[in-house]
Amino acid sequence: MEKGFTERLGVTQQLITCYLPLLDELCCRTALFIKSCLESDSPIVSTVACYGIYYGRMNYHLGLNAFFCCSRYDVTDILSVTRHTVSHYVNSTYLHTAQSLSIVFT
């Protein structure tokens, strides 16, 4: 029974290290969606997205989501939010938290 638990624990650790936390994963996907809308070949889609993000801002969900992502990852433009940016933020945040906790508990 202990071997099964250990095997499951190993799989769980592998899954945890391969993926971003849920909120960061959602922010990353939102940013990629917004980027695809802004860079769309359709002039209607790109114009509406551009207006919602850069001019409408807080009156449109797209603008609110873009603002949230930019403020969370401390960037000035939603096009700067990439999976690399998010991963770097998550790694630095959790590494700093883990170091703080190890200082407290040692």
Please report the pLDDT score of residue 13 as a whole number.
44
Could you give the 3-state DSSP secondary structure of residue 1? coil
Please report the pLDDT score of residue 56 as a whole number.
84
Domain boundaries, the chain: 20-105
Residue 42 DSSP code: -
Pairwise CA distance, residues 88 & 92, whole Å: 6
pLDDT digits (tens, 9 = 90+) for 2-60: 555 545 545 444 445 557 889 999 999 999 999 999 999 999 999 999 999 988 878 88
- Residue pair 28/81 in contact by the 8 Å Cβ criterion: yes
Please report the pLDDT score of residue 29 as a whole number.
94
Q: How many CA atoms lie within 13 A of 34 on its CB side?
A: 29
Please report the pLDDT score of residue 54 as a whole number.
87
Confidence of residue 1 (pLDDT cuts 50, 70, 90): very low
pLDDT digits (tens, 9 = 90+) for 51-72: 999 888 788 888 999 999 999 9
Task: Tell me the mean pLDDT in the region 78-101.
Answer: 79
- Residue pair 70/61 in contact by the 8 Å Cβ criterion: no
Please report the pLDDT score of residue 12 as a whole number.
45
> How many residues would you count in the chain?
106
Stated pTM of the model: 0.69
